[in-house]
Structure 1
């Protein structure tokens, strides 16, 4: 029926198309109505794919640092650098002392020194933390990477839901316009908690690890968007990307404390 809302499957596929470089032209026309609610699911799928890649490379004998670097490079490739570009632009904007010029600088396509430094820092943190992920169980890195990528995108959903969008037009404006609270951000939150619980119940992940990852995801998912809002008075498409990148990087770093010494 004309005017009827798209099915959840169609919305998820549209979300996958928007947030990744996965070719889905064969699916047919997609409607991008309320796709942000499925961003955590896209993150889970991406993280799961990266975890499978990590296991496959380990099986053929690739050293940990090399496969971590390759995995992070593919991570950027699968997202088209969308979120990393936002983190870089946000860093350039926040480096400006005059608050009224920050949005103007963020909109500039030229990458500044602070943007370049932030990109290096994020990629370095992700790569080194990937190497040190807990691997006490077979497939443990798969669960952890999936949840980290999921929480990163849930943090973006929080930014969309809780804070004003600062541009009348922009690459993230339609997310805010079509967002429905609280259901859209609760969908991702419940999904991530369920997946984490399944990791504990079905795969034997440490309960302390699962609880810590969940609490870390919630704290960072609420705190990082709040910090950007404090700095700018709201959010843009660039800060949405920055929220994803910093949540992922810091969660990965936090998980390294659960690695056994010497592994």
Structure 2
């Protein structure tokens, strides 16, 4: 049931079961990376099929947009809100901007950068290698976000980020995150460097969030997920051609 709760929360696809309360939502958090892997696989299959019909750049663009539609731009929204909020001069003003549903210049630029980075990186990969990259990118991004949920203090006692953490089973987060990290290691230099870049990016974002907001928020977690996707796909675009998804 926790997987179905995570599926309903993170996607707009059928088959999920909406959490009845905050406890059910918190218990579903360890499944976020697994849902991410499934999302990556679905996007990867779209990418694989389109490569037979159109250019790599076109198929990569459509595949990334399919991912946005599957998730309802959930994480992209967090990235845009976080980028916009950094224009505020006080903690209170930043949090106020973050809650504003309108997208400003910083948010729009952040979205353009995220989409372009993922599209260009995916287009540089061979079809099957791209499928693996998408699965890993979506799993790693959500895995590192769940680790941050479990161990970084929230900016406020209310909000979506706090709803996650109140009933979050930390041992399960560690267990599934360890599996994702292990898969990254098995994935050779591209997997290790991609995971490492995603982790470093998350640490930098957490440090920035503590200074800017006093802790993490749901939008900050979405930003961490987006950075994770970009990191893994960028590492893959640079290294998979030489090493594949393996060592040696």
TM-score by length of 1: 0.82
Q: Is the 8 A contact 1:89 1:115 kept in 2?
A: yes
- Residue 77 of structure 2 aligns with which residue? 85
Give the TM-score normalised by structure 2.
0.86
Residue 245 (structure 2) pairs with residue 257 (structure 1): no
Q: Report the CA distance between 1:156 and its aligned residue.
A: 1.2
**Structure-2 separation of matches of 1:191 and 1:260:** 25
**1:99 matched to 2:91:** yes
Q: Give the alignment of 1:1-263 within 5 angstroms.
A: 10-24=1-15, 31-58=24-51, 60-133=52-125, 135=126, 139-181=128-170, 183-196=171-184, 200=186, 207-260=188-241
Going by fraction, where is helix more abundant, 1 or 2?
Answer: 2
Q: Which runs of 5+ in 2 are unaligned?
A: 243-248
Aligned equivalents of 1:225 and 1:154: distance in 2? 15
CA distance in 1, matches of 2:103, 2:190: 38
Q: 1:33, CA displacement in angstroms?
A: 4.2
Contact 2:141 2:228 in 1 (8 A): yes
- How far apart, CA to CA, are the structure 1 residues paired with 2:192 and 2:115? 26
Unaligned runs of 5+ residues in structure 1 are 1-9
Q: CA deviation at 1:218?
A: 3.7
CA distance in structure 2 between the aligned counterparts of 1:231 and 1:209, rounded to whole angstroms: 32
Larger Rg: 1
